[in-house]
Amino acid sequence: MTAPAEIVLDRRDGSVVARLSGEVDMSNASYVRDQLLASVPNEVLTLVLDISGTRYLDSAAIEVLFEVSRRLARRRQELRLVMPPDSPLRRVIELTEVHTAAPVFESLEDALS
């Protein structure tokens, strides 16, 4: 049994918006990574990953965020995260310094502006 996770993709103002819901752990981290990398065509500058609806991220998932950010940077593309200030994930994101690799915004609108 892998953890349940769902990615819904959207195009907004020249960006790809990926809403990640569910749980990401070592059982499905590589799947999430592949989905995210495949979702970004060349002409798009930004992948906005909305984790407002994400219930669980473990260290394997954090690693995926770093890796996606790295891979996009090589293509001159940027990974942005959307996470509300009261998210339970906030502490882990800060603790692992994900924000150094991908800027974190409090709302989707902020991330797209």
Partner 1 sequence: MRDRASQQAALAGLGRQALSGVDFGTLLQKAAAVAARELEAEHVAVLERTHDGAGMLARAGFGLPDGVLGGVLPVEPGRLARDLGAASSIAAELGSRFGVIEAHSREPDHFTAEDAEFLEGVAGVLGAAGERAGHEDLVRDSEAQFRELADTTPALMWMTDAEGDVTFVNQGWLRFTGGVAGHEIGGTFAASAHPDDRDELLRRWTEASERREEFRCEYRLRHGESGGYRWVLELGTPRFSGGDFVGYVGTATDIHERRTMEEALRASETIWRELADTAPAMMWTTGTDGAITFVNQGWLRFTGTTFQEEMGQSWALGVHPEDAEPMLASWEEALKERREWEGEYRLKHNTGEYRWIHDRGVPRIVGDRFVGYVGAAIDIHERKTMEGRLLEVYEREHRIAETLQRSLLPERLPPIEGVALAARYLPGARGAAIGGDWYDVLERPDGRVALVVGDVAGHGLRAAASMGQLRNAFRAYGMVEASPAEVVARINRLVMSGVEQVMATVLYLVLDRESGEVAWSAAGHPPPLVIAPDGARFLEGGRSVPIGAADPAVFREATAILPPGSSLLLYTDGLVERRDRPLEERLNELAEAAGEAGDELGELCEHVIAKVLGEGDPSDDVALLAVRPLPVADTEISLTLPAEPGSLAQLRRRLARFLHATGATELEQYEITLTICEAAGNAIEHAYGPGDASYDVDVRFEGGELTAVVRDKGSWRDKRGEHRGRGLAIIEDLMDDVAVERAEGGTLVRMRRRVGENRAA
Least distance (Å) between residue 97 CB and partner 1: 9
Query: Smaller CB distance to partner 1: residue 3 or 48?
Result: 3
In whole angstroms, give the CA distance from residue 81 to residue 37: 15
Alpha-carbon torsion, ordered 80, 84, 85, 87, to 10 deg: -110
Binding site for partner 1 (CB under 8 A): 1-6, 8, 21-23, 25-27, 53, 55-56, 58-60, 62-63, 88-89, 91-92, 95-96
Whole-number minimum distance, CB 43 to partner 1, in Å?
26
Spatial separation of the C-alpha atoms in residues 63 and 65, rounded to whole Å? 5
Q: Which two tokens stand for residue 33?
A: 């990574």
CB of 113 to partner 1, least distance (A): 26
